[in-house]
Amino acid sequence: MMDLLHWDGTLSAKDFRIGAVAFAQKWESLNFAFPPWVWVPCPKHPWLASPELLQEEGYLSMEKICISRLNEEDIDQTTQIDTDEEEASCSGNKDVIDDATLVQRNHHELHYYDFHIVYSNTFRVPVLYLRAYCSDGQPLQLDEIEKELPTCSSKELSKSKWTFITQEEHPHLKRPWYKLHPCGTGEWMKLLFLNDTAQPKFEVVLELYLLSWFSVVGQVVGLRIPFKMLNDR
């Protein structure tokens, strides 16, 4: 049986898939004001995998989130039609029908965010990719995004830009996206679980992995999960 003490806080690709499904389900059941996370499969070329192990690679997606800059505590609510999982594919994401209705709190320019949770083969942890744009689709630059982040994140960013948010090619969509640097994730993920006096089995750890991960990472981009929901297991 897996011993948490010897665990390095990382996940295999297969475990990420399992954890992603668990995370998406938990997310929905916790009834936030956010739309659900959708798993987007990315079929591999047949010559890149042995037939018996054609494991489905993919990522989690939550898109068209409106973040209001003037209120760090509250997030504007965005509702959207649940995307059909079969229709969503790596190239077809842009075709997702959006019927967003917004509670407009302020009369300033609205910015939309797309979030993807992608597995990193190098760091063996989930990585948050994001992009931001205006209502006309015009992409936001990093400095504009920085202004919208909670103040502590902006400080981190100004200190050492390259260890925090970098602009890179999305591993599946092959387009420029922003990415939260995953170096160190394994370490603090391990700490999160080691602090748990209950010493859960790895199956439980896996189920909660992404939720715990997101509770930390989401804060950087202003998405806060109420802590009491995390404690309800």
Partner 1 sequence: MEAQKYVWDGAIPLQIHLHESQVTTLPPPPPALILAPRIGYLPLLASLLKPYFSSTLPPGVDTIWFDYNGLPLKWYIPTGVLFDLLCAEPERPWNLTVHFRGYPGTVLIPCEGEDSVKWSYINSLKEAAYIMNGNCKNVMNMSQSDQLELWHSVMNGNLETYQRVSSKLKLATVEDEHTSLCSSKSQQGFGETDLAGQVKTGRVPVRLYVWSVSEDFDDLEDMPKVDSWEKISYINRPVEIHKEAGVDFEDALRIPSEDVSSDKVVEDHVQNAYEHREACSISSSAEIKLIRIQGIEPKLEIPFSWVVNNLMNPDYFLHICVCVKVPQQNST
**Residue 102 phi, psi (nearest 5):** -120, 145
Of 42, 66, 134, 183, which one is the catalytic site residue? 183
Query: Which one, of 65, 150, 144, lies nearest residue 102 by Cα?
Result: 65
Q: What strand order describes the sheet that includes 176-180?
A: 38-42, 57-66, 111-120, 125-134, 176-180, 165-169
Residue 125 beta carbon to partner 1: minimum distance, rounded to whole angstroms:
10
Minimum gap (Å) between residue 38 Cβ and partner 1: 23
Quick count: other Cβ atoms within 10 Å of Cβ 230?
A: 15
Q: Where are the beta strands (DSSP E) in the chain?
A: 38-42, 57-66, 78-79, 101-102, 111-120, 125-134, 165-169, 176-180
**Cα separation of 78 and 99, whole Å?**
9
Nearest approach in angstroms of CB 11 to partner 1 is 8
Shortest Cβ 231–partner 1 spacing (Å): 24
Summarize as ranges the residues that interact with partner 1 (CB under 8 A).
Answer: 1-2, 6-8, 11-15, 44-51, 53-55, 121-123, 139, 162-163, 166-169, 171, 174-176, 183, 187, 202-203, 206
Query: Known catalytic residue: 183?
Result: yes
**Alpha-carbon span 103 to 63, nearest angstrom:** 16
> CA-to-CA distance for 79 and 214, rounded, in angstroms?
20
Active site residues: 183
